[in-house]
Amino acid sequence: MAGTKHTDQGWRRFAVAVPYVWLLVFFLLPFVIILKISLADPVIAQPPFTPLLDDQGNLSVSLDGFKFLLTDKLYAITYFKSVMLAASATMLCLLLGFPMAYGIARSDPMTRSILLLLIVLPFWISFLLRVYAWMGLLNNYGVINNMLMWFGAIDQPIQFMYTDFAMLIGMTYSYLPFMVLPLYATLERMDLDLVDAAQDLGATRTGAFWDITWPLAKPGVIAGCLLVFIPAMGEYVIPYLLGGGESLLIGRVLFDEFFVNRDWPLASSVAIVLLLILVVPIMLLQRYQARDAEDA
């Protein structure tokens, strides 16, 4: 009996350990490595940065990368633009996704599973292909422009491609399922009697929505927003394909610094700052959620 108990406990420890080990190996360790590189100086060598400890064993730390980020206005603008674009895409996803999730959660079970399947269906096709498909839709002689001209709405094709608008559409399209699914999960769980009760007590339909549905959907909204905002922030493929050469987003900059300029310390600094930009709002949200849960 003692043996079973022992293995039981062993399993429990193992189960708890797995996510920690995972985080340690695949998040903390890479982060430390990137942090180390960001504190080095670039050299033309293999690897292309100075070691943390030089030949004499002295610690060599350089903040040049971070200083450069502060002096060159380009980086600040790029960060700002990335945040704005990711935030806009998140908002658009929320505006489109909420009614979608609401509609799915309130439809009858048969339709519901079909609709959910349709939401997930695009994942069957490669992400890259789907972005390419948008090029076909958005370019000057693409489907949308041709349709508009055929209807006589415009004489000249509208320049969609290589604009912020194209990137916004691409991101919204790509990340919409990540918004819909968590929203659906929270809305589907909600007891519909609550909305009836609110109306019974004098709330109009809209009133009941803002008093009951929205606050109860908040965990789903937060989860959905994070799931869209975080990958949209570091997005590389969409700006590369739909945004064209001029549209600098932080994902692009990161790639260029690493592989075009081969300035690994600077690139690492860019990555660290990006991480900070992402971590701060997440922590704020989590604190907010924890406080909410404490109230509950």
Partner 1 sequence: MTETANPDSFIRIRGVSKHFGDFVAVDNVDLDIRRGELFAILGGSGCGKSTLLRMLAGFEEPTAGTIEIDGTDVTHQPPYERPVNMMFQSYAIFPHMTVQKNVAYGLRKDGVSGSELTDRVDDAIRLVQLDGFQERKPDQLSGGQRQRVALARALIKQPKVLLLDEPLAALDKKLREQTQFELMNIQDELGITFVVVTHDQEEAMTLATRIAVMDKGRFLQVGEPKEIYEYPQSRFVADFVGTINTFEGSVSAIDEETITVNCPDVTAPVLALNSHDVEVGQAACIAIRPEKIFISLDKPEDDETNSVRGVVDDLGYLGNRSLYRIRLETGRMIQVSRQNQRRSAKRFVEWDDKVWVSWRPRSCVVIFEEL
Q: Is 187 in the site for partner 1 (CB under 8 A)?
A: no
Q: Is 203 in the site for partner 1 (CB under 8 A)?
A: yes
Q: Is 111 in the site for partner 1 (CB under 8 A)?
A: no
Scored b (16 or more CB within 10 A) or e, 73-97 reads eebeebbebbbebbbbbbebbbeeb
- Which CB atom, from 41 or from 292, has the smaller least distance to partner 1? 292
Instruction: Write the DSSP assignment of 242-284 as a string of letters.
Output: IITTT---HHHHHHIIIIIS--HHHHHHHHHHHHHHHHHHHHH
Q: Is 146 in the site for partner 1 (CB under 8 A)?
A: no
Q: 234: which DSSP letter?
A: T
- The 207-246 site mask, x for binding partner 1 (CB under 8 A), equals x---xx--xx------------------------------
Question: Which range in 9-17, 47-55, 148-156, 187-195 contacts partner 1 by CB under 8 A?
Answer: 187-195
Query: How is residue 12 written in tokens?
Result: 């429990």
Least distance in angstroms from the C-beta of 219 to partner 1: 11
Crossing angle between the packed helical segments 264-295 and 73-106, to the nearest 10 degrees: 40
The secondary structure element, H or E, covering residue 198 is helix 192-200
Q: Is 291 in the site for partner 1 (CB under 8 A)?
A: no
Least distance in angstroms from the C-beta of 204 to partner 1: 6
- Site residues (CB under 8 A) for partner 1? 191, 193-194, 196-204, 207, 211-212, 215-216, 295-296
